Structure 1
Amino acid sequence: MNEIIFFGLNEYPKLFKNEPEKITKPIQFKFENENENENENENENENENENENENENENENENENENENENENENENENENENEKQIKQISSGYSGTIFLFKNGKAIEYLNENYSNQNPSKIQIEENIQKVTVGYQNEAILTIEGNVFAKGKEINSENTKEFINISSLIEDTNDRTIEDIVSGRNSIYLLTSNQNAYGIGSNYYGQLGFDSGILTKTEKPILIMKNVSKIFTGNSSNNIFLLNLNQELFGCGNNEYGQLGLGESRKDGIIQKLTQNTKYSKRQNN
């Protein structure tokens, strides 16, 4: 803004509309410099352009973020869809077959009178990490360390619904399960405390007790402590246990020398079979 002092003729066209034609006393006249106006206009335009650019950049960033989120969601959905289709494990036995998928869900085909059955989804809220199928039983190990099972000799009703058998362990501090295996009519559990339990039939002493005293149990019973690994076959009536000192033990049916012992027995006595035993997990190509 500029200021000048003016007096003199104020003829047509009047410089000052509200003043007489002849100004005898100096008056103060304020006016805006065109350059200043231009600069101000330019600054305003620049500010407007900057704001527009900022808005455009913000919109672009928002669009980029939206696109990134959409891409992430699409990738997550694709991964979920892939995991729904990709099989992690298959376990099969006389009672049926279970397919475990990478998304932690599983379906089962039940062998009822040797007829082809439609698959049914296993209704367990927790994600599954391992499944086992024995001769007439099925067991499921969840990510949380719980074991759900069903089948013959598992309970008095031979239920067709999965029940949480790990919750039946008497020691409440020993209910987190790391591994499971299924025998013919028995299921074996390995806890995070390195203790091995068994549930089901003990007809051949496969639970580590004399079959003349105990024929079956509906609650997991302790077989052996300090165990690093458990093994059995899905039609087997014996159990093999590798302890923390790499010593292999076994008990159960030895009618055909399955335990490597020289006599047939089912007294449930756990026998040391070998020492300095190395276990190596087979790697799939």
Structure 2
Amino acid sequence: MDLQLDQLRALDAVITEGTFEAAARRLSVTPSAISQRIKALEDSAGRILVQRTKPVQPTESGLTVWRLAKQVQLLTSDTARELGDEDQPTAKPVNIPIAVNADSLQSWVMPALGRAAQGVNFEIHREDEEHTTRLLRDGTVMAAITSTAAPVQGCIVRRLGAMRYRPMANPDFVGTWFPDGPTAKAFAVAPVILFDRKDDLQFRLMRRYTRKPVDSPRHYIPSSAGFADALRLGLGWGMMPDLQTRQDDNLIPLDSTVFIDVPLYWQQWRLDSPALGMVAATIAETAAAVLL
């Protein structure tokens, strides 16, 4: 395969932006030029890389080449910065897409990214920690905070620590729905708050008491801040990390002795990239200070 840098950039732009026209605007060329570069790249690869739908969808082969395109662009950006004039840093910032679970993003990741932001543009993908590895596999992100210890192919992994979650609720809600504490009967009828339909943490706790699935009333609130507000307002009970509730007088645990620890890992592409390495080091340093 004879892969040209402008062809790889075109593939990344088309898949990321969703159309040939949007990719052309991003790269300041014509849609015809984008189409020619994609066609030349497909000829070189000997297979179709993108489906010409709206939005454009990568084929399985396209995902493989897209991942290569992002790796090449990262290394190219790193090299440009290293060759630049340190007194006049005009090199284009390195773009690093990262998948992060909402609770980590809300409670501790943002300060880490703030310290690592010089010369880096972040593209954050909010995803449940049990599902972030999918974004690593398909090349959407270069790194992810995940609960999966097994490394994705082509990635390295390091343990960050664990977030401790407890079942929390408004005191009046606890008095109304859990007067005898957490019981199977109470969990079967008490409203529960879920982040989204991938959120299994509340059900994991309930199974300790009910020993079988229960169809309790539920709210879906896909926002960490909104989730906490719903608990404070008494809409239901839910699992909250200690990092977000230590100084919250409006929430109390259903049982202070009950908790679930969710392990977190940092997975990233196996690349010798100074920018990606700097972000990983900052994430690890911050995690060591706040996680279990």
TM bin, normalised by shorter chain, reads under 0.3
Which TM-score applies when normalising by structure 1?
0.21
User: Which structure: larger Rg?
Assistant: 1
| Structure in which a larger fraction of residues adopt helix | 2
- Which fold has the larger relative contact order, with Cα–Cα distance below 8 Å and residues 6 or more apart in sequence? 2
